[in-house]
Homo-oligomer: A and B are copies of this chain.
Amino acid sequence: MKYRFSILLVAATLLRFVAPAQTIHSPSRKLALTFQLSPAGEPTYELKYGARTVVRPSRLAVLLQDQPGFDKGFTIANVDSSRHDDTWAPVWGEVKQIRNHYQELAVTVQQAAAQNRQLVLRFRLFDDGVGFRYEFPEQANLKYFTVSDEKTEFNLPADHRAFWMRGDYDTNEYLYSTTKLSEVSAAAAKPTPEIATQTPIGPNAVQTPLMLKSADGLYVNIHEAALVNYPAMALLVNGATHGLTSQLCPDATGAKAYLQAPAHTPWRTIVVADNAPAILASKLILNLNEPSKLTDTGWIKPQKYVGVWWEMQINKGTWSYSDANNIKLADTDFSKLKPHGRHAANTANVKRYIDFAGKNGLQGVLVEGWNVGWEDWFGNWKEEVFDFVTPYPDFDVTELQRYAASKNVKLIMHHENSGSVTNYERRMEPAYRFMREHGYDAVKTGYVGRIIPRGEHHDGQWMVNHYVRVAQKTAENHLMVDMHEPVRPTGLHRTYPNWLANEAARGNEFNAWSAGNSPEHETILPFTRLMGGPMDYTPGIFQIKLDQYAPQNKGKQVHTTLAKQLALYVTMYSPLQMAADLPENYAKFDDAFQFIRDVAVDWDDTRILAAEPGDYLTTVRQAKGKDEWYLGSITDENARQQPVKLDFLTPGRRYTATIYADGKDADWAKNPMAYRITRQVVTNRSALTLRLAPGGGAAVSFKPLP
């Protein structure tokens, strides 16, 4: 040991001479990033927020199959640093314009002992965090290579409080846990039978975005940006050292990524702030993504929609058409199946949703279960499940196309592929052609089940490439896409703005048939899953208690109040928002539904007024091109008084504030559907105090008076 130590000291002395530390500061000097080679020539970085350490010196390493790794033995070949500052406008989003302002450091390191191979470590240091990635330049001795592992460290200085989800290669639909980092391993063992396809990585693995809070009030969020042609990253937690290490999703053979130089990894991102709202306001991940690849974007329409969907979640109807349970897509004559009479996607029922959408100005009607194959679609690792072009006998695609058009409504296509992606890829071209021929302009895809190619995972490189391919192919066909059960998003909606939303987390429907989502769930999601992009959470359930629909729903309910469901349209950002409940329930509570009719889905401005992960969140947003504001305020299981200053309103102007609040005795468990709607005239000097029930919330619309 001693011998080795002294060797290292000598080496350190020598190397320090050639490799001094490189430090850059963020534009306003809030953050400092230091790059340094270790005595063994290992690249390391360190991140500070003022005097406070965000990340202690941490190694950066990518290991390769059948050749030396990019991990050590480096010397510095070149250092570049530059300032970048510009502003860009997203096709749609939370704000009209986004400033992209950072100091960049690009360090080229070289391995004398490995054919002088070079690697570039590129850091972009913003005032609200850092993004860095590995770049593999084209060079004589590196062309095709296989990543066997990436060992990026995030060594935290203390045992932070963590808002985390179990690391898994196939699902993002666990509940979140809130523990200290050192408690992750012990807490991870809870069974989650409601998730059918799970591949847990191990007891110490967590997913990104990982939200952390230090004892001294520093908020740190770790994720990745622009995940393309690479597997998703999870993090392995060392409870003793508070060190995190990247863990990539493997392919069927155990390898991680097949790359061809020039190539690079996604950006590893660390968003830092001394207050929680600033984390939610960060545009760092979007800034690290490539600009839109689509030039013509006029056909992309943020929208609200209803759907033949919740009625299946609550056992009122079914996706399937018959009780047959042994379907062979190529052989079964679906017109000969005996209908069981509970098939929800029948022409008459779909027309009811079209009528409702048309009457209420919602743009879309999603229909699930319209196409043949649902009788035994799940759980068999079966390749030929759906063909995406054949409707059930009771779904009249031509008549519904005509009818929807007459009501100025668009049907939204549904492409559940049950994880059989080889089958979906074979059929994508005819499926999209079918959509164009039948007036569809948006598709919800689904990946419920084990992936085919067998041995691949939802989060592996092959699937990551698939999701991007779907975004590209739908864009080529002028189709918008909403992906369910994909890898967690990383800001790619900037690059492919037709990729409106993803699920990729535990949505509202878990309330219908599992232990459900905890009342704090929606206060954590914005700090975790939503850091990567919009979520199709499917809010708007007004009939909170679900017993009434079917015996198997006994005790099931949504774990919020009705008013909180309204607030989610603002707190859970998405350009695609479902009004998920049944038309008949909205008819019963039409006064509350007015908020859903009114609320925008595209915004010129957004302010996070108050936030604490796991506790509460209040957000207000200005509708695109209008002086209308919409506010959502939610709490966890605890009741809260939320004061709100209205100084975001235009000075000198009067507004009608319509407040959709929890009723007096409202409580998510005991009295969830009590709500009260009040109106008052306000100005930018007014203030409101919103009373949030346990598990409750409030929604407010502000419309200018003439």
Q: Which chain A residues have a beta carbon within 8 Å of chain B's beta carbons?
A: 138, 143-144, 146, 251-253, 255, 258, 260-261, 325-326, 328, 376, 380-383, 422, 425-426, 428-430, 453-456, 462, 465, 469
Contacts and interface: CB of A to CB of B under 8 A. Distances in A.
A455 B253 contact: yes
Given A425-B422, A453-B422, A143 B258 contact: no
Contacts of A325: 143
Contact of A453 (B144, B252, B328): B252
Given A381-B258, A425-B425, A253 B454 contact: yes
A260 B425 contact: no
Given A144-B381, A425-B425, 11 more contacts: A138-B326, A143-B380, A144-B382, A252-B253, A252-B456, A253-B455, A258-B382, A260-B326, A383-B462, A453-B455, A453-B456
Contacts of A382: 144, 258, 260
15 contacts: A143-B326, A143-B380, A146-B381, A251-B455, A252-B252, A252-B455, A253-B454, A255-B454, A260-B326, A260-B382, A422-B453, A425-B425, A453-B453, A453-B454, A453-B456
B260 A328 contact: yes
Contacts of A138: 326
Given A260-B326, A425-B426, A430-B429, A454 B252 contact: yes
Contacts of A425: 422, 425-426
A612 to B, nearest CB: 44
A211 to B, nearest CB: 34
A633 to B, nearest CB: 46
A261 B328 CA distance: 10
Nearest to A425: B426
Top 6 closest A-B pairs, CB basis? A453-B453, A252-B455, A252-B252, A144-B380, A253-B455, A425-B426
Contacts of A465: 383
A260 B380 contact: yes
A382 B263 CA distance: 14
A138 B261 CA distance: 52
A391 B422 CA distance: 27
Contacts of A383: 258, 462, 465
Nearest to A143: B326
Instruction: Determine how many copies of this chain the complex contains.
Output: 2
Contacts of A469: 426
A462 to B, nearest CB: 8
A83 B252 CA distance: 48
A373 to B, nearest CB: 13
A260 B326 CA distance: 8
A68 to B, nearest CB: 19
Contacts of A455: 251-253, 453, 455
Contacts of A252: 252-253, 453-456
A465 B420 CA distance: 15
A251 B454 contact: yes
* Among A422, A430, A453, residue most surrounded by chain B Cβ atoms (within 10 Å): A453
A424 to B, nearest CB: 10
Nearest to A142: B326
A453 B258 CA distance: 13
A236 B86 CA distance: 67
A383 B469 CA distance: 13
A81 to B, nearest CB: 28
Contacts of A422: 422, 425, 453, 462
A258 to B, nearest CB: 6
A326 B258 CA distance: 14
Contacts of A376: 143-144
A146 B450 CA distance: 15
A642 to B, nearest CB: 50
Contacts of A429: 429-430
A661 to B, nearest CB: 51
A679 to B, nearest CB: 55
Nearest to A251: B454
* Among A252, A462, A469, residue most surrounded by chain B Cβ atoms (within 10 Å): A252
A252 B425 CA distance: 19
A138 B331 CA distance: 14
A161 to B, nearest CB: 39
A429 B425 CA distance: 11
* Among A260, A376, A430, residue most surrounded by chain B Cβ atoms (within 10 Å): A260
Nearest to A466: B422
Nearest to A469: B426
A519 to B, nearest CB: 39
Contacts of A380: 143-144, 258, 260
A83 B613 CA distance: 77
A381 B454 CA distance: 17
A247 B552 CA distance: 47
Contacts of A251: 454-455
Contacts of A261: 326
A554 to B, nearest CB: 29
Nearest to A330: B472
A61 to B, nearest CB: 23
Contacts of A430: 429
A31 B113 CA distance: 70
* Among A325, A426, A456, residue most surrounded by chain B Cβ atoms (within 10 Å): A426
A68 B371 CA distance: 35
